[in-house]
Structure 1
């Protein structure tokens, strides 16, 4: 499994919005300049997360974007599902039917089910807030005199 640039940038966008939550809407221009991601690319990404109701758009002169839910409930899995679609390691796991086109059942299905479970549990257990908290703790420990 390889996460696309779109998925990686979506997580960065969401973390930026989470860090600036409570300070009002954030413009894409600000995000673009701060993260070094083209504004045009961010427009594509923000459209997806707005549609998924992870981000809210605020119109007007002081408008921009802000999280639609607390950072403590939005997981990396939520964000990646919006940008990447299914994270299933095998196509037969993409829905709950486990539909397989093979004439003989595969012996390794349990391996792919296990991997999919680990992916979902791991990424589903990491919230935006937990990433911010961990980064803050590491940054606090890495000072020099």
Structure 2
């Protein structure tokens, strides 16, 4: 499994919103500037996040984007699955993979399952609130990840 640029940027965008004032809306321009990512790419990603209900949007001069829920309600796994799809570490564990005829006796499959479980456990345990706290502890609340 390799997290794509889109997945990494979606996580950065959501973290940026988690660090912002929850009562304020952030413009794509300001998020893109803080994260050093093109506005056009940010717009594509934020559109997907809005459609999924992760982010709220308001149009107009005072409009922009903010999290739909508190940062502790989002996990890294949710965000990455939205942008990446299946997070299987190897092809044979993907949700849409055909049944492997060797699955029952395959020792390496056991290893891949252990690795897959470990990765997903971490991604499903780490929340945006946790990432925001790490960012604050590192002294850069508007960090570029």
Structure 1 and Structure 2 fold alike (TM over 0.5):
yes
Which segments of 5 or more consecutive residues in structure 2 lack a partner in the other structure? Answer: 141-145
2:18 match: 18
| Partners of 1:116 and 1:51 in 2: CA distance | 28
1:71-113 C-alpha deviation (Å, 9 max, x unpaired):
0111111111111111102233222x8742x444333221121
| Partners of 2:21 and 2:76 in 1: CA distance | 17
1:7 match: 7
| Partners of 1:88 and 1:6 in 2: CA distance | 17
Higher RCO (CA-CA < 8 Å; seq separation 6+):
2
| TM-score of the pair, normalised by structure 2 | 0.85
| Partners of 2:70 and 2:102 in 1: CA distance | 46
2:70 match: 70
| Partners of 1:49 and 1:115 in 2: CA distance | 28
Number of residue pairs matched by the alignment? 138
Distance 1:19 1:107, change over 3 A: same
| Partners of 1:99 and 1:69 in 2: CA distance | 37
Structure 1 residue 48, shift from structure 2 partner = 1.4
Bigger Rg, which one: 1
Structure 1 residue 119, shift from structure 2 partner = 1.1
Contact 2:22-2:67 within 8 A present in 1 as well: no
CA RMSD of aligned residues (A): 1.9
| TM-score of the pair, normalised by structure 1 | 0.85
Structure 1 residue 47, shift from structure 2 partner = 1.3
| Partners of 1:16 and 1:125 in 2: CA distance | 19
| Partners of 1:50 and 1:81 in 2: CA distance | 15
